[in-house]
Amino acid sequence: MTVIHIRNVDIVTLDEQGTIHHNADLVIRDGKIESVGKAPADLTADQTVDGSHHAVLPGFVNAHCHSPMTFERGWAEDLPFDRWLNEKIWVAESALTPDDVYWGAALAACEMIRSGITAFNDHYFYMDRVADVVEQSGMKAALAWCVFGIGEDAEIGPGLDGTAEWIRETHGSANGRLRTFLGPHSPYICPPEFLERIVEIAHETGQGIHLHLAEDNQQIEQSLERYGLRPVQHIDRLGVFDVPGGCVAAHCLSLDADDIDILAAKGVYIPHCPITYMKLAMPFPPIKDRLAAGVNMCLGTDGPGSNADMDMFAVIRQAVLSEKYQSRDPESLPGDTALRMAAQNGARALGFEGGAIEAGAPADLIMVDLDAPHLHPLHSLIANLVHSAKSADITDVMVDGQWLMRNRELQTLDEEKILQEAEAHAQSMVSRGMKQVRQYKA
Ligand SMILES: [Zn+2]
């Protein structure tokens, strides 16, 4: 049995009542939160941590990303979405190897832990190698091996049947830290019969589906032309939203009222990735209206090829600012709602417990140093965290009671080696990638 006692700490619980404790105790026993507020007088702890001048809050969940795309950070700049894919991303990926994916994801894991992310929802290739990174890092993740269904040449890896096999072996491994989704790329690339086959496999294996959906108006027009239906309605007919493990549909930028009703009724989770939308000049969805309609909104960094970093404090802040600005309504997205989108809504999307600091929850949490100049004075902890805190203020990160970072030092990953290897693999990959692997048309 391991007992960790964090003393004198401010705790932003993000529980139902939004409780905040000041100078409080947090007790963690065997990977779970045992008590919040005042520790029992006779507590004997294996480790006591002084939390003075720090806040504890739930770990962030990055609800949509492509972690190995750290390799394409800064590689495809100032381009519209179609040229970004066709001329840069899908050319570099023609040279992708499993080792590239491992080092790209390891680099992302270093960055994500430093940014307070305890779990991530990944959608990419060679997910068996990303699973290695999850095992070693101590993070939690839901992994989707991306498949296209347009011929073997376009796939990277074993194709749908091979990835289904991998899912059977992987789901629930690493003491439950690893979960999986089926990963069709999107309805604008994947043919309907392929999506139907994926729905069948999801029912056979008890899995969910993570895909991209309705990213711009051209995709809506294309879907209407091909199928006579908008993308949301098209994949609803195919059963994509009715699979046992639920559906995560990234982006959903162009929706009408019927689409929103379907997504709310089917409990679909929508990761909102504001920095990608701004960087690629994509349409912006109104968050307040979606939340009011009952849609499950969560937050993601997206891939570093489009964002270009994996900084959740930046995502939270940009989500809030862009929503207020777009709606011309400063009340449209309060700070604690944004923090909940980043924590518990994300955890639910991935199928993990937690997202709040409360007794019985897994000890997935971060500590933030409140002593930086930009965090004084302390009138409102929520306001300071949402509008002033930076990733560099995060000192400690814990998952299931295990420290992944202590005093800004990574505990589970060899960061120096990862930086070297990732740099070398990234430079090599982009110089080898010569042909375009598939074509985006909208
Ligand atoms: Zn994406």
How far, in Å, is the centroid of ligand 1 from the Cα of 325?
24
All domains of the chain, ordered by start, with CATH? 3-58+355-410 (2.30.40.10), 60-350 (3.20.20.140)
| 178-184/140-147 β-pairing | parallel
Distance CA 83, CA 440 (A): 9
Helix axes 98-114, 127-137, angle to 10 degrees: 40
How far, in Å, is the centroid of ligand 1 from the Cα of 173?
24
How far, in Å, is the centroid of ligand 1 from the Cα of 339?
21
Instruction: Tokens for 136, please give them.
Output: 């070693």
How far, in Å, is the centroid of ligand 1 from the Cα of 68?
12
pLDDT of residue 95: 85
Render each residue's pLDDT in the chain as its tens digit; 442 residues. Answer: 799 999 999 999 999 999 999 999 999 999 999 999 999 999 999 999 999 999 999 999 999 999 999 998 998 888 888 898 899 888 888 888 999 999 999 999 999 999 999 999 999 999 999 999 999 999 999 999 999 999 988 898 899 999 999 999 999 999 999 999 999 999 999 999 999 999 999 999 999 999 999 998 999 999 999 999 999 999 999 999 999 999 999 999 999 999 999 999 999 999 999 999 999 888 889 999 999 999 999 999 999 888 889 999 999 999 999 999 999 999 999 999 999 999 999 999 999 999 999 999 999 999 999 999 999 999 999 999 999 999 999 999 999 999 999 999 999 999 999 999 999 999 998 888 677 877 877 6
Q: 3-class SS at 239?
A: coil
How far, in Å, is the centroid of ligand 1 from the Cα of 384?
29
How far, in Å, is the centroid of ligand 1 from the Cα of 306?
9
How far, in Å, is the centroid of ligand 1 from the Cα of 42?
50
Backbone phi, then psi, for 318, in 5-degree steps? -70, -35
| Nearest of 300, 225, 221 to residue 254 by alpha carbon | 221
How far, in Å, is the centroid of ligand 1 from the Cα of 215?
10
How far, in Å, is the centroid of ligand 1 from the Cα of 107?
18
In this structure, how many other beta carbons lie within 10 angstroms of the beta carbon of residue 256? 12
Query: Which residues partner with 124 through β-bridges?
Result: 145
- Extended strands (E) in 162-291: 178-184, 208-213, 247-251, 269-272
Cα end-to-end span (Å), the chain: 56
Instruction: Tokens for 409, please give them.
Output: 């030092």
The alpha-carbon radius of gyration of the chain (Å, integer) is: 21
| Nearest of 427, 132, 84 to residue 279 by alpha carbon | 84
How far, in Å, is the centroid of ligand 1 from the Cα of 70?
13
How far, in Å, is the centroid of ligand 1 from the Cα of 378?
36
- The pTM assigned to this predicted structure is 0.97
Contact (CB, 8 A) for 94 and 430? no
How far, in Å, is the centroid of ligand 1 from the Cα of 337?
23
How far, in Å, is the centroid of ligand 1 from the Cα of 12?
30
Instruction: Tokens for 75, please give them.
Output: 């590689």
How far, in Å, is the centroid of ligand 1 from the Cα of 277?
11
Contact (CB, 8 A) for 104 and 69? yes
How far, in Å, is the centroid of ligand 1 from the Cα of 251?
8
How many helices and strands in the chain, by DSSP H and E? 16, 17
How far, in Å, is the centroid of ligand 1 from the Cα of 66?
6
Helix axes 159-170, 127-137, angle to 10 degrees: 20
How far, in Å, is the centroid of ligand 1 from the Cα of 87?
17
How far, in Å, is the centroid of ligand 1 from the Cα of 369?
31
How far, in Å, is the centroid of ligand 1 from the Cα of 5?
39
How far, in Å, is the centroid of ligand 1 from the Cα of 74?
16
How far, in Å, is the centroid of ligand 1 from the Cα of 133?
20
How far, in Å, is the centroid of ligand 1 from the Cα of 177?
22
Instruction: Tokens for 428, please give them.
Output: 């090599």
pLDDT of residue 153: 84
How far, in Å, is the centroid of ligand 1 from the Cα of 178?
20
pLDDT of residue 38: 95
| Nearest of 14, 52, 82 to residue 341 by alpha carbon | 14
Distance CA 248, CA 45 (A): 40
Distance CA 54, CA 65 (A): 29
Q: Let me know if 389 is exposed, middle or buried by CB neighbors in 10 A (0-12, 13-18, 19+).
A: buried
pLDDT of residue 442: 64
How far, in Å, is the centroid of ligand 1 from the Cα of 98?
19
